[in-house]
Amino acid sequence: MAGEPQEDCLFCKIVEGHIPADVVRETETTVAFRDINPQAPTHVLVIPKVHYANAAELAAAEPQIAADVLREAQAVADEDKLDSYRIVFNTGTGAGQTVWHTHAHILGGRGMQWPPG
């Protein structure tokens, strides 16, 4: 059921503490941790503690938690002293989503090109 932890979800297991992660921030509703395959000097994932497959589903069901994810993205950028950064939500396999739990990629510390790959 949407919003509930999923047994087969990697990020739900991180939220529950069953899989270790390099956590940089945690709030009542979110967890932020360093990506294991960084694509920039700063590459942090911010996830909601509730399970929704993508950002649109999260925003429709729990808009306050969606806002929390974005607020934490800013906090990560502030802690890493980034004056420029990118927030990416991949939705669907064609966009590169590989974990079906909403997550924002915070990327910074290098120049970003447009359009993205």
Domain count, the chain: 1
Does some domain include residue 102?
Answer: yes
Q: What is the pLDDT of residue 116?
A: 80
The answer to whether residues 78 and 65 touch, using CB atoms and an 8 Å cutoff, is no
The answer to whether residues 68 and 75 touch, using CB atoms and an 8 Å cutoff, is no
Residue 85, Ramachandran bin (φ over 0: left; ψ between -120 and 50: alpha; else beta): beta
Q: Is the pTM of this model over 0.85?
A: yes
Does some domain include residue 5?
Answer: no
Does some domain include residue 82?
Answer: yes
Q: Which positions are catalytic?
A: 103
Q: What is the pLDDT of residue 4?
A: 85
The answer to whether residues 44 and 34 touch, using CB atoms and an 8 Å cutoff, is yes
Does some domain include residue 69?
Answer: yes
Residue 104 is part of a domain; what is its CATH number? 3.30.428.10
- One digit per residue, pLDDT tens: the chain, 117 residues? 678 888 899 999 999 999 999 999 999 999 999 999 999 999 999 999 999 999 999 999 999 999 999 999 999 999 999 999 999 999 999 999 999 999 999 999 999 999 886
Does some domain include residue 3?
Answer: no
Does some domain include residue 44?
Answer: yes
Q: What is the pLDDT of residue 106?
A: 98
Does some domain include residue 4?
Answer: no
Domain that holds residue 102: 10-108
Does some domain include residue 67?
Answer: yes
